[in-house]
Amino acid sequence: MHDDPQPPAEPSSTGRPADAAAPGAGGVDLAKPAGEQTARRRRRTPLWLETVVLLAVALGMALIIKTAFMQAFYIPSESMEPGLVRNDRILVQKVSYWFGGEPQRGDVVVFEDPGGWLTGPETGPTTLLSKGLARVGLYPTGGHLVKRVIGLPGDTIECCDDQGRLIINGVPVDESEFVRREYGCDGPMVNNCTEDWSVTVPEDRLFVMGDNRAHSADSSDRLCNPRNKRCDEDRAFVPVDLVVGKVFALVWPLSHAEGIGRPDAFDDVPDPS
């Protein structure tokens, strides 16, 4: 006696017999060879390689930010007191001087040594780690100077009016908001305010001064004495292309962290005629 023959299984919409296991049933996809599935599971990136890649990307981004956007520095001396104190950490942004932008009167800027301005010992990063971080902008660096822009190319700066204020293009400037004055004028480094002086800023140069006017080896300190015939007339000025950027924030110590902007003391100074 024979059993009744069973009808063949109807094919499913996928082309498989209806009783065939669906993809993923029992953890096996019958549509793909087992070897291919095993290779795919093993193709995951090792954790150590992911860490190396992420670290390389982070350092690359830091380097790009340092080169094009901002950089950390520290204050090397007392020349910018009372606002910026020795060893304060500051951030400098470079965007303001893109696409033809240039420093303006009142900006606090960081610039490279024009030659012979830095005479003290270098106090930048000293350890291997700090030097490496400094290269990518993650640690404050030395080798630069921090001063306030007083005169632009073509400006005539005079010292001083009856109140001891600097005169720029014929207009006296009240700098009492940010300057520490110990003598009777705002430009004492030339001669301790014993006599007046005047200078015109050459093309593509800046006249810069520290806010601690009696203790700042700045442009006014490097003006030539008429009696010194061998003095380099250009030594008092900073080439515009040596400016790294504008200080926009004091970030350490946190007790007096603040933003740093351009004061309005120079707003009424006209362009040079």
In terms of C-beta density within 10 A (0-12 exposed, 13-18 middle, 19 or more buried), how is residue 1 classed? exposed
Contact yes or no for 155/207 (Cβ under 8 A)? yes
- The catalytic residue among 66, 77, 79, 94 is 79
207 in Cβ contact with 157 (< 8 Å): yes
In this structure, the strands spanning 197-200 and 171-172 are: unpaired
Amino acid (one-letter) located at 177: E
In the annotation, is 94 catalytic? no
CA distance 98 to 42: 49
The answer to whether residue 66 is catalytic is no
Residue 175 CB partners (closer than 8 Å, separation 6+)? 165, 166, 186, 263, 265
Is residue 211 within 8 Å of 148, Cβ to Cβ? yes
**Helix, strand, or coil (residue 244):** strand
Set 66, 94, 147, 246: catalytic member: 147
Tell me which residues are annotated as active site: 79, 147
